[in-house]
Amino acid sequence: MQKITCLIVEDEPLATEVLEDYISQVPFLQLVSTCHDAISALEVLQREKVTLIFLDIHLPKLKGLDFIKTLDNPPRIIITTAYQEYALQGYEMNVVDYLLKPIDFRRFINAVNKASQLIESSQPIADGQMAGERAYLFFNVGKKKVKMFLDEILYIESLKEYIKIVSSEKSILTKFQLGQTEDLLKNKNFLRIHRSFIVAKDKVDSFSATDIEIKGRLIPIGRSYKEQVYADLEK
């Protein structure tokens, strides 16, 4: 199993020690850094690849839930707090789990296993990047990994926790975030045109001020994306 890189964001020394101890006992977890506030955590995220954050809610400078809102493509997050009243709000932000202090080790393991499954299921496998080969990605669909050739993709649509990838031959549904997909496809003929849509530029049949047409499907252009869409398509 690939290592899951972790970040602890916690201002209580005792709680930090407990989390560090628990993480050290799990072979597939690797602690990258420990931060006492969210501002320091932002700096770590800029220089380190972090897959999982253990996040306290009541932090100095910037509260935990507000910290989540600042992240465009957040890692998986497990909340660690003494306050149960924020649980609903946390789950609405798609956190993996909500652990109440003092945290029991068995409960910690359950949360970590849940995070591991989500991380593994949402990781496409990049391949086919060698010279002369068609670029493709494998995406997890149920218990299978399905190959999608990038030059066949027409558009990608966000459906909350999932994305639908539509190609000229098929469409698949996979548990992945559109922002993460956009990062994977940067400089590869793809254009974000809406908070819920990415399109293949060479598959665009026509476009107007409000939408793009691909194979008879009208896809809306988001207001904040309009200027960039026109700049890219009119090149």
Q: What is the pLDDT of residues 64-88, one digit of tens each?
A: 999 999 987 789 999 999 988 888 8
CB atoms within 10 A of CB 131: 4
Q: Where exactly are the structural domains of the chain?
A: 4-121, 125-233
Domain 4-121 and domain 125-233 have a common topology? no
What sign results for the dihedral spanned by CA atoms 90, 91, 96, 99?
positive
In the chain, the amino acid numbered 137 is: L
String of DSSP letters for the chain:
---EEEEEE-S-HHHHHHHHHHHHT-TTEEEEEEESSHHHHHHHHHHS--SEEEE-SS-SSS-HHHHHHT-SS--EEEEEES-GGGHHHHHHTT-SEEEESSPPHHHHHHHHHHHHHHHHHT--EEE--STTSPPEEEEEETTEEEEEEGGGEEEEEEETTEEEEEESS-EEEEE--HHHHHHHTTTTTEEEEETTEEEEGGG--EE-SSEEEETTEEEEPPGGGHHHHHHHHT-
pLDDT attached to residue 133: 65
Angle at 28 between CA 48 and CA 21, to 5 degrees: 85
What the block records as the tokens of 180 is 């993460």
Find out whether 181 and 190 touch, Cβ atoms under 8 Å.
no
Domain 4-121 classification at class level: alpha beta
Neighbours of 68 (CB within 10 A): 20
Question: Stretch 11-23: mean pLDDT, rounded?
Answer: 95
Q: pLDDT, tens digit, for every residue of 107-143?
A: 999 899 888 888 876 666 554 444 456 788 888 888 7
Between 18 and 141, whose confidence is greater? Answer: 18
Residue 166 pLDDT level (bands cut at 50, 70, 90): very high
Beta bridge partners of 75: none
Q: Which CATH architecture has domain 125-233?
A: Beta Barrel (2.40)
Q: Percentage of the chain surpassing pLDDT 90?
A: 56
61: left (phi over 0), alpha (psi -120 to 50) or beta: left
Q: Model-level pTM greater than 0.85?
A: no
